[in-house]
A and B are shown apart, each in its own frame.
Chain A
Amino acid sequence: MSKRFLSLFASLLVLGFATPLRAAEVQVAVAANFTAPMQKIAADFEKATGHQAKLAFGATGKFYAQIKNGAPFEMLLAADDETPAKLENEGLAVSGSRFTYSIGQLALWSAKPGYVDARGEVLKQGAFDHLAIANPKLAPYGAAAVESLTRLGLLGSVEGKFVQGENIAQTYQFVSTGNAELGFVALSQIVENGKIKSGSAWIVPPGLHSPIRQDAVVLTRGKDNPAAAALVKFLKSDAARTVIKSYGYAL
């Protein structure tokens, strides 16, 4: 063994001891709409506790199927409150560990500046070919969009113009590439530091649809993982809540 190898080995040993011994890793499945805030929170979490959160982003329904079939996730940050409850009932999540980590806000958005007015009147004029929504059967934001349109009495007139994304990230993509003139997205996708990043938007009043409650739950595999417990605590902290709010979630 060469000297270089020995010194590499030695430095690895030192590194190994330098991190706190109790530092652990937690595998987290995160709803696609929560991608941006969670990346920030995970970095803060590691700084504050030394624990590492390994994140996977995707559709809640897909995560459910994967968890049922033995995926190695220890925590789920869902896009709804039904999936975590279902997992708990099926014995796949630690009972009593469920909590609401954020409440999503729906926005009608266009990539074109000035296209969507501050009151959403553009929907009534109907001068567009495509209105993008997330698949209401799969995505809570899509269901909320349909509920709001129903409440506004506009569902019948715009339904024929729906183009559906499989999740809210794809819906955003349809609008941002200009293929759909406008669409219902998560406010968190278009907001940065409390301001709309680009284009024009109408924040749909929360009274028009039932709240998009996003629940987190510790999965059975994460039951005895100290990093999972620490992440739960961290998500409930003021520091994390400030980050969550700055990305356009109500809480």
Chain B
Amino acid sequence: MLSDTDWSAIRLTFELASITTLLLLVIGTPIAWWLARTRSAWKGAIGAVVALPIVLPPTVIGFYLLVAMGPNGPVGQLTQSLGLGVLPFTFAGLVVASVFYSLPFVVQPIQNAFEAIGERPLEVAATLRASPFDTFYSVVLPLARPGYLTATVLGFAHTVGEFGVVLMIGGNIPDKTRVVSVQIYDHVEAMEYAQAHWLAAGMVAFSFLILLALYTLNPTGRRT
């Protein structure tokens, strides 16, 4: 059924998706908050940048990340001067790419949830002399919980489903950058259709179950 390399790809995929989702919740919260509250003229531009990965083909993102993170690119120059080496072909590189690639799937549900709260609960909290942080933890976060659930599930699932970007910057290294989607592609290309089927059917089942769970647990939070 599944070989050792298949299992290693599955393990790696879940590691990548977990780390990416955690990072995205941390990074995405202030971005979503700013987008939800600001009256700045930059709102449209920043919102558009966050949404870019939805419309750009992964080949474009992968190609630019490869060039930018390479030894001659701006990101590559920075990481080298920090003594980190270059990011392509590393697990850390995949995490950076995935954070960028899955950003809108986390930011947008949280932003929608923040916007749905409106001004009133915040004003009430302020009249009760709650500090802004207190308001955020005691009022905003509980009210935005459906948005966070949607963001977590979509961010995780979208990273698991990532292919083009990983293919272009990963280098297909076992245990480091060979994730399930790449492994399936390899099986298909090598005409190993039986093994491809096991993994591919597993992906379909996993994706269906995770979305089913989301829509059952969170019937109101399905907007993205």
Q: Is the CB of A164 within 8 A of B71?
A: no
Contacts of B85 in A (CB 8 A): 129
Q: Is the CB of A163 within 8 A of B71?
A: no
Pick the interface stretch among B27-35, B187-195, B213-221.
Answer: B187-195
Is there a chain B Cβ closer than 8 Å to A138's Cβ?
yes
Scoring B residues 187 to 208 as 1 if CB is less than 8 Å from chain A, else 0, what string do you get? Answer: 0111100000000000000000
Contacts of A163 in B (CB 8 A): 89, 171-173
Known: A65-B191, A137-B186. A174 touches B171 (CB 8 A): yes
Q: Is the CB of A137 within 8 A of B71?
A: no
The bracket for how many chain A residues form the interface is: 20 to 34
Pick the interface stretch among A32-40, A47-55, A56-64, A233-241.
Answer: A56-64
B70, B189, B191: the one contacting A177 at CB < 8 Å is B70
Q: Name the residue on A nearest B187 (C-beta).
A: A137
Contacts of B172 in A (CB 8 A): 135, 163-166
Closest beta carbon of chain B to A163's beta carbon, Å: 3
Q: Is the CB of A65 within 8 A of B171?
A: no
Contacts of B67 in A (CB 8 A): 177
Contacts of B88 in A (CB 8 A): 174, 179
Is there a chain A Cβ closer than 8 Å to B16's Cβ?
no
Closest beta carbon of chain B to A231's beta carbon, Å: 26
Q: Most B CB atoms within 10 A — which of A62, A137, A179?
A: A179
Chain B residue total in the interface (Cβ 8 A): 21
Q: Most A CB atoms within 10 A — which of B70, B185, B189, B190?
A: B189
Scoring A residues 162 to 197 as 1 if CB is less than 8 Å from chain B, else 0, what string do you get? Answer: 111110001001100111100000000000000000
Q: Is the CB of A178 within 8 A of B70?
A: yes
Closest beta carbon of chain B to A160's beta carbon, Å: 9
Is there a chain A Cβ closer than 8 Å to B12's Cβ?
no
Closest beta carbon of chain A to B141's beta carbon, Å: 41
Contacts of B95 in A (CB 8 A): none
Is there a chain B Cβ closer than 8 Å to A130's Cβ?
yes
Closest beta carbon of chain A to B87's beta carbon, Å: 9
Is there a chain B Cβ closer than 8 Å to A144's Cβ?
no
Closest beta carbon of chain B to A50's beta carbon, Å: 36
Q: Is the CB of A166 within 8 A of B167?
A: yes
Contacts of A30 in B (CB 8 A): none
CA distance A177 to B191 in the complex (A): 30
Is there a chain A Cβ closer than 8 Å to B72's Cβ?
yes
Closest beta carbon of chain B to A139's beta carbon, Å: 9
The residues in B between 49 and 105 inclusive whose CB is less than 8 angstroms from any CB of A are 66-67, 69-72, 85-86, 88-89
Closest beta carbon of chain B to A17's beta carbon, Å: 42
Q: Is the CB of B70 within 8 A of A166?
A: no
Contacts of B189 in A (CB 8 A): 59, 61-62, 65, 135, 137-138, 166
On B, residues with C-beta under 8 Å from A are 66-67, 69-72, 85-86, 88-89, 167-168, 171-173, 185-186, 188-191
20 additional contacts (CB under 8 A) given A64-B191, A137-B186:
A61-B189, A61-B190, A62-B189, A129-B85, A130-B89, A130-B171, A132-B171, A135-B189, A137-B189, A163-B89, A163-B173, A166-B189, A173-B66, A174-B171, A178-B71, A179-B69, A179-B88, A179-B89, A180-B89, A180-B171
19 contacts between A and B (CB under 8 A): A61-B191, A65-B191, A130-B89, A162-B171, A163-B171, A163-B172, A164-B171, A164-B173, A165-B171, A165-B172, A166-B185, A170-B167, A170-B168, A173-B66, A174-B171, A178-B70, A178-B72, A179-B71, A180-B171
